[in-house]
Amino acid sequence: MAAFLSGEMKDTVQMNPAGSYVLERFFSRAERRKLFLSWAGSASMWIKGGNAIWGNSTFAPDDPLDQDDAETKVMEVDTNGSHLWRSRHTHGELFSFRPVPPVVQVQKEDGNSTHVLKEDDNGVKNMTSETAGQWILEHTPSSFQKMLATNYSFGIERDDEVLKRNDREHTKWTNPLEVRLPNAPSMKMFCVYGHGKETERSYWYTRGDYEYDESAADGQTPHCTDPDPGSNQTGPCSGVTPRAPLDMPLMRKSWIDAEYTDEGADPKIRNGVKMGEGDGTVSLISLGAMCVEGWKRRHWNPAQINVTVVELPHRPILSMPRGGANTSDHVDILGSTAVNEIILKIATGVGHEVQESLVSDIRTYATRIQWD
């Protein structure tokens, strides 16, 4: 979701300063965001299930288990503008914005300092998965919005009759929360994935200057002025579409706050990214929640197909670039000895020898999801 909002992810904000400079110089955040929005298939990675699956402003199913009886704390700003960092924050707030101190000290050219009143950011609210998705859509071109509406759906459906009708609704087929498994009682399913590598789960954001809203880029009557005959663009128009007279930069720039790191926080924060559990790329909720709980329910598994879950702990060999035979990193797990043994057993008809194995707390996390 951060890629849709600001063109960023864990890998881009945790680069070394030199690499980060080169990346921003030749392929900026805004350009990366436009690229992600130009790929229709990228929308299949949009968060599904909303707050029922991913949590709200006070709670998330995969919050650290020791937070249940502890006060959830966030960053505050006192009357003097000092930052008071608290150690706990829920993953349910997918995007959290750091408050701006109301007064900051500015150094003058003559060596003296003065206090300047900053713009009030009290109206900035943290975003859950639902509010973040809505906000991102409101600031994307209408072409992307239409593509999303005609090809995808991201909700959760619990009504059996509606789920039955969804069998014929193509927009639901990429969302396991809105479509049923086949009516095939003899079928067997195996969920095999890695666990044990820190994975990006939610984010701390900061804000900058105002910019033009991309949602206004495709107005009702676009036209070109000053066409450039030497342009290498194809099509009937190679010039510039002027903005409407009242089109002003009203949207604030937002980006992951890479300067904020707190290894002692819970969850851990590194370069503005709140780390959770998973395989290094995909969150544990996405990997295992449907396998251990969702598909155990007749809503989504009417034939009660047997689902076997195998979690493989991440035990890389540090001297090997791809982790070796016991890696469970995303994609690299395809070279894991355990994965290939499981595939061979299933392919040769002895899938019953594959035993369920869990090394995470996914079963506990899944029971905290609002399935009903």
Residue 308 placed within a domain: yes
Residue 84 pLDDT level (bands cut at 50, 70, 90)? very low
* Domain match, 122 and 6 both: yes
Q: Which pTM does this prediction carry?
A: 0.80
Predicted pLDDT of residue 166:
96
Predicted pLDDT of residue 52:
96
* Domain match, 193 and 205 both: no
Predicted pLDDT of residue 217:
46
* Domain match, 119 and 24 both: yes
Residue 351 placed within a domain: yes
Is the pLDDT at 172 greater than 90, yes or no? yes
Q: Which of 276, 310, 338 is the last residue of a domain?
A: 276
* Domain match, 282 and 271 both: no
The total of structural domains in the chain comes to: 2
* Domain match, 125 and 253 both: yes
* Domain match, 327 and 364 both: yes
Is the pLDDT at 349 greater than 50, yes or no? yes
Q: pLDDT (tens digit, 9 = 90+) per residue, 253-294?
A: 788 999 999 988 888 999 999 999 999 999 999 999 999 999
* Domain match, 333 and 265 both: no
Predicted pLDDT of residue 250:
55
* Domain match, 261 and 333 both: no
Average pLDDT over the chain reads 83
Residue 111 pLDDT level (bands cut at 50, 70, 90)? low
* Domain match, 296 and 254 both: no
Question: For residue 168, what are its two tokens?
Answer: 């014929």
Domain that holds residue 218: 1-133+200-276
* Domain match, 243 and 115 both: yes
Predicted pLDDT of residue 89:
82
Predicted pLDDT of residue 114:
55
Mean pLDDT of 84-107: 68
Q: pLDDT (tens digit, 9 = 90+) per residue, 283-331?
A: 999 999 999 999 999 999 999 999 999 999 999 998 898 899 999 999 9
Residue 152 placed within a domain: no
* Domain match, 23 and 72 both: yes
Distance CA 13, CA 204 (A): 12
**Are the beta carbons of 336 and 213 closer than 8 angstroms?**
no
Q: How many CA atoms lie within 13 A of 45 on its CB side?
A: 13
Distance CA 206, CA 222 (A): 33
Residue 70 pLDDT level (bands cut at 50, 70, 90)? very low
Is the pLDDT at 144 greater than 60, yes or no? yes
Q: pLDDT (tens digit, 9 = 90+) per residue, 187-216?
A: 999 999 999 999 999 999 988 776 666 555
Burial per residue of 68-105, b for 16 or more beta-carbon CB atoms within 10 angstroms, e otherwise: eeeebebbebeeeeeeeeeebbbbbbbbbbbebbbeee
Q: What percent of the chain is predicted at pLDDT more than 90?
A: 57
Residue 20 placed within a domain: yes
Mean pLDDT of 353-358: 96
Residue at 166: amino acid letter: N
Residue 135 pLDDT level (bands cut at 50, 70, 90)? confident
Is the pLDDT at 21 greater than 60, yes or no? yes
Predicted pLDDT of residue 82:
43
Predicted pLDDT of residue 211:
66
Residue 234 pLDDT level (bands cut at 50, 70, 90)? very low
Predicted pLDDT of residue 17:
87
- More confident call, 364 vs 232: 364
Predicted pLDDT of residue 76:
46
Q: Which of 220, 255, 276 is the last residue of a domain?
A: 276
Residue 115 pLDDT level (bands cut at 50, 70, 90)? low
Q: pLDDT (tens digit, 9 = 90+) per residue, 41-57?
A: 999 999 999 999 999 99
* Domain match, 324 and 189 both: yes
